[in-house]
Amino acid sequence: MRRALGTMLALAAAVAAACAEQLTAPTECPDFCPGGEIEVVDAILRDVVVDDSAFRGYIGPHEGGLLLVASLPSIESRAITRTNTIATTYQFGSDTTRNPIVGVDSVRLQLIMRPDTQPLRNFRLHLYRVPKTIDSSTTYADVAPSFADSLVRSVSLDSLLALPEQEDTVLDANIRRDSVTGDYVRIDTTLRRLILNLKLDSAQVPYVEADSGRLGLGVRVTADSVASTALGSVRSGSGMAVTWYLQVDSLQLDTVPRSQVAGTRFDTFVFDPPPPPLDSTLAVGGMPVARSLLRFALPPAIRDSAQIVRATLVLVPDQAPQGVPADSFVVAARRVLSDLGAKAPLAQPFFPGDSSHVGTAWVRIGSTDTVRIGVTQMLRLWAADTTLPAAIMLQQSTAPNAIIEGSSLVEIRFRPSSDTAFRPALQLTYVPRFQFGVP
Amino acid sequence: MRTGMLLAAALLGASPPARLPAQDSQFGIAGLGTPERGESVRARATAGAFGLFDPLSPMADAAVVAIQRLTASASSATSYRTVELGDESAELRTTRFPALTVGGPVFGRVRAAGGFSAYLGRSYRIETRDSVVLRGEVEPYTDEIASDGGVTDLRVAAAFHLTPRLAIGGSLHLLTGSTRATATRRFDDSLTYQPAAYVDELRYEGLGGSASLLLDVGRGLHVAAYLRSDTRLEFRGSGTSGAYDLPISVGGGALWRPSDRVALAAAAHQRTWSAAGLNAHDTFEWSVGAEIGRPSLPFRLGVRRGRVPFGPGAEAPTELGIAAGLGFRFSGGRGIVDIGVERLEREGGGLTERVWTALVGITVRP
C-alpha cells in the first residue's frame, strides 16, 4: 500500500511539474474575441482643483545664483556689489618692513553674464559707484542717486562682440579685445556664459586706503528697446571680481607693480516697482520668488478604478508675462511630499529619469496661451498610493532639466480655482476597469 | 516496475524545449471556453468510442466496476494547432493533463474512483491592432487580452453490479478552477501615452452529478448509457461576478467484443450547451472505434464527428476527429503505457483549426 501511495505521488508530482506554457494567437473580433472591450476615456476635469494658494518669498534678490539686471517697461532692475578688501601694505621677501600702497596703475573688473544678449540692439552695460554700505535691506530708492550721478563707465557689448576673435596666449582662450579701451569679452561655450573684462583707471576706481580698497559698484543695462540680462552672483561662485594693479613703495626708493584680486563680499539687485501684492491669482516666479499650491480631489471612480494613461494640467494665464525673448521660462508642477502649505517639502526623483515628481512646460514671453503641463506619472503615482497628498506646487525655473528658481524677474499668474470659467483643470485620458469574465 | 515508473514520470514530465505559442481552441474564446476531453488515452485513441466502457474515463461511472484492484492513471496531451482565419494563420501549441484517475475496490461489490479531468480550457492570448482619436490625433494601439487556466472536474464515483449483467454507477462532480486574466493596452506613442494593464484572478465553482448503467447483453455485446447534469458555473473576480448555466449531457454506446483480439465500439452524446449564453450551441457527437490485437499490445483507431459548442453565428462549428494508438503492458500487467495520436479539424465562422495531438497515458496497478 505504501508503495502504491508512493507511485501515485510520483505521478502527481510529474503532472504538476510539467504544467507550463505560453499563449498567443491572431484573431478577428468580435467573433473570436472574449467579451468586453478596453475602453479609453478622455475628459477634462474642471473641478478637481479644490483649493489653491499663492505664496511669495522663497528666494530674495540676495539669495539667488544670478543678479537680474533689466530695463523693461514693466520693471527696472539694477545689480549692486560690494567687493572684498585688499591688503594695504606689502612685504618683500624676508624683509619685515610693511611697504604701503602708493598708487593704482589700473583695475580690471570681471563680470560673468548670461550669454544671450546678442539679439538686443545697442545693448550697453553701465557701471556706477554706489555706497559701500549696501546690504540685503538696500532698496532701489536708496541707490537711485548713485545711478544718477556716479557713472564710472559705459560699454557697448554689441561693439565688443562685433570685434574679430583673436587668440590670447596668456588666457589660453579666444577673446574679442578692444585695443583702445583694453576691454575684452570671452564666450565660454562650455559653461554657457559670457565673461566681460573691463579695464578701469585709478580715476574711475580710486583706491581709498581707509576702505582697504573696498568698492561699491552698481550695474544697469540699456538697449534700444528692452534690455535684460543676468550677472553671476557670489552665491553661484561667479560674482564680480576686481583685480587691482597697484604701486607699492619699496624702501622709499622706487615703486614696484603688484596685483591683488578682490572678490565679491556681497551682491544683490534692486528693482522698481516692487511686485504687486498677491491676490487670488496663482503667482509663479518673479522676485522675491512666488509659488502656488494646488490641491486636487480626483474622482474616486478614476483614482481607484481606472488607469490613467495621460494626464495634463491645464493652466490659463491671467496676463502675458513681460520681458525679453530670452526671459522665457519653465513652469514646473512639483509633487508635494507632505501638504504643509507654503513650506510643503517637494518630491525628488526616485531614480534618474523619473518624472513622477515633476512636470514642466515652457512659457514664452508675451504669450497668453494656455499652459499645459504633462503630469501623467504623478497622477499614476497618486492612483497607486492613495496615501500620498494630491497636491502640486507650481514653481518657475529657467532650466528645462532642473528646477532653478530666482533666475528671472518675470512672473506669471494663472487663473485660480475660484474663476469658474478659466480655473485650473486636468485633462485625463484613462482606461476604466476592464470587466473580465463576461463572454 | 521501477523502470516503468521512471518511464511514466519522464513522459509526463517532459515539457516543451522552448516556450512556444499555444492556446486552447479559438472557438472557445468568445464562449465559456473549450470543453476538454477528459477521457483516458485508451478511449481517446478510439476517438472516444470506448469512453463509456473505459473505467479510467470519467464518462459513464458504471464502467468503474471493471476496476478490480487499486489503479492509477494519468494522461498528457500535447496539441500542435494550425489556425487559419481569413488571410492570417498561426501555429500554436498546448500541453494539457486532461485526466488523473485513481480507483479500486472499496467494499463488497462496490468500486470507487476519483480524480480530476479538464472540463473547460480558458487559456488564450489574443492581440488586436486598432487606433483611436485622442486629443485630436490618431493614436494607434495594440490590445492584448489573455487568460491562463481553466475549470477542472473533480469527480468522486462509485459503481457496483446490481445484477451479474447490470452495473450501475453515479458520481458527484465539483467544478473548480481559476484563470489569471490580463488586459493590456499599449499605445504606439509610448512616451505620451502610458500603457494600461488590468489583471484579475477569476475563480470558478460549480457542481454536477451523473448516473449511468452498463449492461452485458451477452455474446460479447455491452451497452452503456449515462445522464449528467451540471448546475451553474459561478465565477468571481475582483469587482466582477456572474454565473452561466451548464449543460445536461446524455449519451449511450455499444461495445461488441466478438473475440479476445477484436473489440468494436460506438457512442453518441448530446449536450445542451446552448444554455451557456452567447455564442453557445447544443452539440451532438458520435464516434466509432476499434481495438485490435493482443491484449498486451492492442492497436486502436476511431473516428468521431460532432459540433463545437461555442462559435459565432447561428450554427455551431463542426468537428471531425480521427485517432489511433497503441497500448503496452509490462510488469505482468501492473503497468500500462498508452500512446495515441489524434487529428482534429474544426470549422466555423470563417475559422479553420487543424490539430495534431500526441497522447501519452500511464496506468499503474501496484
DSSP characters over B101-151: EEEEEEETTEEEEEEEEEEEE--EEEEEEEEEEETTEEEEEEEEEEEEEEE
- Which of A164-178, A415-429, B277-291 shows the lowest mean pLDDT across its residues? A164-178
Confidence at residue A256, expressed as pLDDT on a 0 to 100 scale: 66
DSSP codes, A207-233: --GGGTT--EEEEEEE-SS-EEEEEE-
User: Is the pLDDT higher at B4 or at A135?
Assistant: A135
Q: If contacts are CB pairs under 8 Å, which of residues 254-283 in chain A contact chain B? A: none
List, for residues B83-122, the tens digit of each pLDDT value.
Answer: 888 788 888 888 877 789 999 999 888 999 999 999 998 8
Q: Residue range B244-253: average pLDDT?
A: 96
Residue A379 parent element (H or E): helix A376-384
Confidence at residue A438, expressed as pLDDT on a 0 to 100 scale: 61
Q: If contacts are CB pairs under 8 Å, which of residues 17-56 in chain A contact chain B? A: 17-36, 38, 40, 42
Q: Do A33 and B30 touch (CB under 8 A)?
A: yes
Q: Residue range B151-172: average pLDDT?
A: 95
Through-space distance between the first and last CA atoms of chain B, rounded to whole angstroms? 9
Flag whether pLDDT at B56 surpasses 70.
yes
CA B279, CA B347: separation in Å to the nearest integer? 15
Residues of chain A contacting B183 with CB distance shorter than 8 Å: 36, 38, 434, 436
Chain A closest-CA separation from residue B261 CA (Å): 30
Flag whether pLDDT at A9 surpasses 60.
no
Confidence at residue A251, expressed as pLDDT on a 0 to 100 scale: 62
The secondary structure of residue A132, as a DSSP letter, is T
Q: Do B277 and A439 touch (CB under 8 A)?
A: yes
Q: If contacts are CB pairs under 8 Å, which of residues 333-362 in chain B contact chain A? A: 349-351, 362
List, for residues B271-309, the tens digit of each pLDDT value.
Answer: 999 988 878 999 999 999 999 999 889 999 999 999 999
C-alpha cell at position B218: 451477452
Chain-centroid distance, C-alpha A151: 31
Confidence at residue B339, expressed as pLDDT on a 0 to 100 scale: 96
Q: Do A34 and B135 touch (CB under 8 A)?
A: no
- Which of A296-305, A335-344, A412-421, B17-26 shows the lowest mean pLDDT across its residues? B17-26
Q: Residue range A242-264: average pLDDT?
A: 80
The secondary structure of residue A275, as a DSSP letter, is P
Give residue A117's pLDDT band: very low, low, confident or very high (50, 70, 90).
low
Give residue A238's pLDDT band: very low, low, confident or very high (50, 70, 90).
very high
pTM confidence score: 0.79
Give residue B11's pLDDT band: very low, low, confident or very high (50, 70, 90).
very low
Residues of chain A contacting B347 with CB distance shorter than 8 Å: none
List, for residues A146-162, the tens digit of each pLDDT value.
Answer: 999 999 999 999 899 99
Confirm or reject contact between A428 and chain B (CB < 8 A): no
CA A336, CA B152: separation in Å to the nearest integer? 50
How many beta-carbon contacts under 8 Å exist across A and B? 208
- Which of A182-186, A252-256, A396-400 shows the lowest mean pLDDT across its residues? A252-256
In this structure, are residues B346 and B317 in contact, taking their beta carbons and an 8 Å threshold?
yes
Chain B residue with minimal CA distance to A31?
Answer: B312
Give residue B17's pLDDT band: very low, low, confident or very high (50, 70, 90).
very low
Q: How far is CA B357 from CA B104, B286, B343, in A?
A: 29, 19, 6
Q: Do B14 and A28 touch (CB under 8 A)?
A: no
Flag whether pLDDT at B6 surpasses 70.
no
Confidence at residue A324, expressed as pLDDT on a 0 to 100 scale: 76
In this structure, are residues B122 and B24 in contact, taking their beta carbons and an 8 Å threshold?
yes
Residues of chain A contacting B20 with CB distance shorter than 8 Å: 21-22
- Average pLDDT along chain A: 87
Q: Residue range A289-306: average pLDDT?
A: 93
Residues of chain A contacting B200 with CB distance shorter than 8 Å: 434, 436-437
Confidence at residue B29, expressed as pLDDT on a 0 to 100 scale: 86
Chain A closest-CA separation from residue B343 CA (Å): 20
Confidence at residue A191, expressed as pLDDT on a 0 to 100 scale: 84
Chain B residue with minimal CA distance to A310?
Answer: B193
Give residue A118's pLDDT band: very low, low, confident or very high (50, 70, 90).
low
Q: Residue range A92-114: average pLDDT?
A: 86
Out of B97, B187, B366, closest to residue A3 by CB: B366
